[in-house]
Amino acid sequence: MYLISHQRLHIKPRYYRWHVNPGAKWLETNTGYAELDWELPLSQTALVLVDVWDRHYLKDTEARAEIIIREKLVPLVDNCRKSGLQIIHSPSPELAKDEPKWVKIPIQSLKHLDDWPPYEFRSKSGVYKAYAKPFEPREEEVAKHVADLKLHPLIQPEGSDVVIATGEELHQYCKQKGVMFLLYAGFNTNACILLRDYGTLRMSERGYDVIIIRDCGTGMESFETQDELWQTQGTILFLEMFGRYSVTSEDIINGLRIH
């Protein structure tokens, strides 16, 4: 039995409602957003910060992220710390293992990698080499950039913050602490936030309630989507459509203040 704190976070998570109102035609144009009204025990809630790095190799992505970090993430993290809300940094396995606050939870068992599809197919080597993506001439430049990444200087682990390296580690830490509600912020919305093993989809599959903070991240956009940030917006909508939720940083800050 976990100790449930009397301190609470009041939020109204948004989701996309596939149903239509009584009397309305069953049309996509008649569907829309809806909100719930939740009081989350602070002791069962955590803020997960994904890949809040000091830079990005795509300079327009980096510029958007820098504004978000300074204007949204810094006040959000500050308010969460003051309220005692658990903060978990997930900066990628390579970075996490160099951090003093890495939890280093020993994992008892790892899922055995099946032998199907065959290794050569998965790695696009041997007879399957023809199916590999073509070599990018600047790949080494990107690799060097990634190797030199650090956590952003304005979002450093402090106090009771912890750092995790993998989804299994995040799961085991949450299990130890009794955490079941995960608030997600960080980068990139349509990549690591969505697809990392500690990201929204995988942790939702494990049974956690996942809530993305929609103004605290940005996606890697294409030349077709950059003007309106449709990759970012589409990923948030995808999560809201399929069993997950969203809020804003202001919602969380105000939800902490009322107690």
pLDDT value at residue 112: 59
pLDDT value at residue 3: 43
Confidence of residue 6 (pLDDT cuts 50, 70, 90): low
Asked if pLDDT for residue 2 goes beyond 50, the answer is: no
pLDDT value at residue 259: 55
Determine the Cα–Cα distance for residues 239 and 37; give it in Å rounded to an integer.
18
> Average pLDDT in the 120-128 region?
92
Model pLDDT for residues 152-171, shown as the tens digit of each residue: 999 999 999 999 999 999 99
Determine the Cα–Cα distance for residues 201 and 243; give it in Å rounded to an integer.
10
Model pLDDT for residues 185-236, shown as the tens digit of each residue: 999 999 999 999 999 999 999 999 999 999 999 999 999 999 999 999 999 9
Determine the Cα–Cα distance for residues 135 and 126; give it in Å rounded to an integer.
16
> Would you put residue 215 in left (φ > 0), alpha (ψ -120 to 50) or beta?
alpha
Residue 50: closest CA among 227, 229, 177, 202: 202
Determine the Cα–Cα distance for residues 212 and 163; give it in Å rounded to an integer.
19
Residue 185: closest CA among 238, 239, 247: 247
CA angle 92, 155, 67 (to 5 degrees): 100
Confidence of residue 147 (pLDDT cuts 50, 70, 90): confident
Detail the DSSP E strand segments found in 133-214.
Answer: 162-163, 181-186, 209-213
Determine the Cα–Cα distance for residues 21 and 71; give it in Å rounded to an integer.
38
Asked if pLDDT for residue 111 goes beyond 80, the answer is: no
Sole residue written with tokens 């300079």: 59
Determine the Cα–Cα distance for residues 27 and 165; give it in Å rounded to an integer.
43
**Which tokens belong to 91?**
């900066």
pLDDT value at residue 258: 62
Model pLDDT for residues 9-25, shown as the tens digit of each residue: 999 999 999 999 999 99
What residue ranges define each of the domains in the chain, with the CATH number in brackets? 8-257 (3.40.50.850)
CA angle 132, 134, 138 (to 5 degrees): 130
Confidence of residue 1 (pLDDT cuts 50, 70, 90): very low
Confidence of residue 257 (pLDDT cuts 50, 70, 90): confident
Asked if pLDDT for residue 52 goes beyond 50, the answer is: yes
Asked if pLDDT for residue 251 goes beyond 90, the answer is: yes
Asked if pLDDT for residue 109 goes beyond 70, the answer is: no
Mean pLDDT of all residues in the chain?
Answer: 93
